[in-house]
Chain A
Amino acid sequence: MTSATVTAHEYRGVPAWRRNLRLHGWTIGVWLVLLAMVPYWRSLSQQSFEFDIQALAIDALPLCFAAMAQAVVVISGGIDLSVGSLMGLMNVISAKHMIGMSFREAILFSLVILLLSALAGGFTGLVITFTRIPDIVVTLGMLFVWYGVGLWVMEIPGGGAPQQFYDLALGSIGSTQVPGAMVIVFAALVVLWLPIRWLRPGLSIYAVGSNRNAAYLSGIGVARTRVGAYMLGGVFAGLAGLALTATAGIGDPNSGSIYTLNSVAAVVLGGVSLLGGVGGLIGPIAAAYILTLSKTILLIRGTDPNYAAVYQGILIILVVVIGGLLSRKTHR
């Protein structure tokens, strides 16, 4: 415990306004990179803008939510290795029960799913704060547990949801140039995150993430805040699971496995510091779109899409190396 806080101190002590500048600079930069990729992508594509933007929005939807789930937890100073298996669990629960439902029932059941995943996330947070074991160990354990429960719910992929539920993610809203899947992401951001971000709970999350002891001394309920962050992360993981149901059309207990790594990648590229307290959710969303789009571009060009994994790994490391060098420089 002591060694961890000492290293954490090494990187802190940077004035808040300057960290803010860097934070927003990074977010804007990531969005610019995304925008810069669009013309190149469109020049390669043989399909209409409507089709392409729709495809991108749908493909990136689960990762967007997984990245948001990871971002909340990381900002609060933790890390959640169980994000992928929790979303896999919510995917199979929803697909198992929604298949015979009407659209209305499916929407109500989605709320139940979000409640369940909030409780699941909260449970992880409680175990962490109660046992005082490092986040990485507890969430590693929970990775097994949620995956196991997912297999128990549904061993063989299947199930489904009503067509209108699929259409939420697959359709468009208003103009055909505005994919529903993209609207949902920003709606979730505005409804779930921004109110928290700008009010007291959000401040607590950032305070606890950037310096747990200082937060405690200034009267913030550290344990409560951390559990809250894991609960909110759980809600986003639940949304990610529902997104998987809507975009893949079925439940699959193994489907979440790739999202833990990818959510960490999106968070890191999106400008959230793994030391906590720095970053937001808007950057990781852009990073999720970039990661998805780069794979699509490779495939359209006729390049082996497996290169996407290679670049993704290199990019994560590079970004963290640069971030580390910068904070070391500013610290001195």
Chain B
Amino acid sequence: MTAAPETVERESRLRALQRFLTDNPVVILVLVLVALFVVTEVVNRHQVGEPFVTWNQISTTLLVAAPLGMIAGGQTLVMLTGGVDLSVAYTATAAAFAISWQGTNGTLEGILAGLLVGVVIGLANGVGVGVFRVNPLVMTLGTSSVIFGLLSIYAGQAFEKRIPDVVTTLGRERFHTYLPANTLLWAAVAAVLVLGLSYTGYGRMLFAVGDNPLASRLAGVRVWQVLVAVYVLCGVLAALGGLLLVGFTNNPDLSLATSYLLPSVAAVVIGGTSILGGWGGYGGTILGVLILTVLGSLLTLLDAEEWERQVIYGSIIIVLTAIYARATRSD
């Protein structure tokens, strides 16, 4: 008799904990990230005899993560509206090429050209999805195909390239030995995204559109405008990611950002943003990006084969989405 209320209480506490964690996936993600750091530290000490968690290492992790952080930022916004942007990788690559081609004319021309590429591609995607209601998957696959074809054509014709010094500084230099320049830019963008999503009307509209586009329209939201703006933002963020990447590698090539496409989706999914829209945020994505980056280091350290890496990434996406789906459904 006395046991019953206790069990109930324990159960409700458990439920409260579950609810807390469901509402704040960031807490779990921070724990996962810390755990990953600890495991990597142990493996590194065991294998190399040196600590992994040093200021230099953390700084390098941030430097490696920043381009993905940018690209995944745009992906987060799009996925909040219930879409997906599969053109982010080629948008980033196209921006990188634009920067290096126009960079021969001047620094400002180069950077502006890169951002303009992001705006144009984003606008095309946004108009297709928002105005003509093309399925986001098909729309962005279509634009990917177009960008890829155009890049293949022009990469074989335009020979002169120059990456502006500002871009290389942003892409790979560090201030005070440990503060990567690209991380500063990332932090600024992150602040805008996190605050913008929580505290601006546009941010709230974005959630509303993702949650229920029909209801939003009935409530007077101009859904198409919201969508066009989201895809343009996503294009610009992808272009910024391309800028950081080309600054880092000092050379654009066709596969510059292809390896970032699926991780950008994975980071968002790990971060707890629902692919169905209306739920999530950029805070989780940042942690998703860091988790993927540290996991990459760990797998390299463990001498994991490429195939193991691929299988692990794929499984993470499916398993985590299943867990999130279950957690939110039980509410």
Q: Which residues of A contact B (CB under 8 A)?
A: 1-4, 6-7, 79, 127, 131-134, 136-138, 140-145, 147-152, 155, 261, 264-265, 268, 274, 304, 306-314, 316-317, 320-321, 324-325, 328
With contacts defined as CB atoms under 8 Å apart, how many contacts are there between chain A and chain B in the complex? 158
Q: B149 is contacted by which of A140, A307, A317 (Cβ under 8 Å)? A: A307
B303 within 8 A of A: no
A131 and B324 CA atoms in complex are apart in Å by: 11
Q: In the complex, are the beta carbons of A149 and B132 less than 8 A apart?
A: no
Nearest Cβ on chain A to B80's Cβ, whole angstroms? 13
Q: In the complex, are the beta carbons of B148 and A309 less than 8 A apart?
A: yes
Q: B312 contacts which chain A residues (CB < 8 A)?
A: 148
Nearest Cβ on chain B to A42's Cβ, whole angstroms? 25
Given A137-B317, A312-B145, 16 other A-B contacts at CB below 8 A?
A: A131-B321, A133-B325, A141-B315, A142-B318, A144-B310, A145-B311, A147-B314, A155-B305, A261-B141, A306-B150, A307-B153, A309-B148, A312-B149, A314-B142, A320-B139, A325-B132
Q: In the complex, are the beta carbons of A144 and B314 less than 8 A apart?
A: yes
Would you mind naming 11 contact pairs between A and B with Cβ atoms under 8 Å apart? A138-B318, A143-B262, A144-B314, A145-B314, A148-B309, A148-B313, A149-B307, A149-B311, A261-B145, A307-B149, A309-B145
A136 and B136 CA atoms in complex are apart in Å by: 12
Nearest Cβ on chain A to B97's Cβ, whole angstroms? 14
Nearest Cβ on chain A to B46's Cβ, whole angstroms? 26
Q: In the complex, are the beta carbons of A142 and B314 less than 8 A apart?
A: yes
B82 within 8 A of A: yes
* Number of chain B residues close to chain A: CB under 8 A: 51
Q: In the complex, are the beta carbons of B153 and A304 less than 8 A apart?
A: yes
Q: A79 contacts which chain B residues (CB < 8 A)?
A: 137
Q: B137 is contacted by which of A136, A145, A306, A321 (Cβ under 8 Å)? A: A136
Q: In the complex, are the beta carbons of A321 and B128 less than 8 A apart?
A: yes
Q: A131 contacts which chain B residues (CB < 8 A)?
A: 318, 321-322, 325
A89 and B309 CA atoms in complex are apart in Å by: 16
A328 and B322 CA atoms in complex are apart in Å by: 34
Q: B257 contacts which chain A residues (CB < 8 A)?
A: none
Nearest chain A residue, comparing its CB with the CB of B139 = A317
The interface residues of chain A, by DSSP majority, are classed as helix
Given the known interface contacts A3-B212, A3-B277, A151-B306, the answer about A309 and B146 at a Cβ–Cβ threshold of 8 Å is yes
A306 and B149 CA atoms in complex are apart in Å by: 5
Q: B88 contacts which chain A residues (CB < 8 A)?
A: none
Q: In the complex, are the beta carbons of A148 and B138 less than 8 A apart?
A: no
A264 and B148 CA atoms in complex are apart in Å by: 16
Q: In the complex, are the beta carbons of A3 and B82 less than 8 A apart?
A: yes
Nearest chain A residue, comparing its CB with the CB of B313 = A144
A261 and B278 CA atoms in complex are apart in Å by: 27
A144 and B138 CA atoms in complex are apart in Å by: 20
Q: A3 is contacted by which of B146, B213, B269 (Cβ under 8 Å)? A: B213
Q: A321 is contacted by which of B132, B150, B265 (Cβ under 8 Å)? A: B132
A159 and B53 CA atoms in complex are apart in Å by: 44
A15 and B318 CA atoms in complex are apart in Å by: 37
Q: In the complex, are the beta carbons of B146 and A147 less than 8 A apart?
A: no
Nearest Cβ on chain B to A177's Cβ, whole angstroms? 33
A147 and B258 CA atoms in complex are apart in Å by: 15
A104 and B68 CA atoms in complex are apart in Å by: 50
Q: A313 contacts which chain B residues (CB < 8 A)?
A: 141-149
Q: In the complex, are the beta carbons of B137 and A140 less than 8 A apart?
A: no
Contact with A along B104-136 (1 / 0, CB 8 A): 000000000000000000000000100011110
Q: In the complex, are the beta carbons of A264 and B141 less than 8 A apart?
A: yes
B152 within 8 A of A: yes
A306 and B311 CA atoms in complex are apart in Å by: 32
Nearest Cβ on chain A to B277's Cβ, whole angstroms? 7
Q: A311 contacts which chain B residues (CB < 8 A)?
A: 149
Q: B145 contacts which chain A residues (CB < 8 A)?
A: 261, 265, 309-310, 312-313, 316
B211 within 8 A of A: yes
Q: B302 contacts which chain A residues (CB < 8 A)?
A: none
Q: In the complex, are the beta carbons of B138 and A317 less than 8 A apart?
A: yes
Q: A143 contacts which chain B residues (CB < 8 A)?
A: 262, 314
Nearest chain A residue, comparing its CB with the CB of B84 = A136
B72 within 8 A of A: no
Q: In the complex, are the beta carbons of A317 and B143 less than 8 A apart?
A: yes
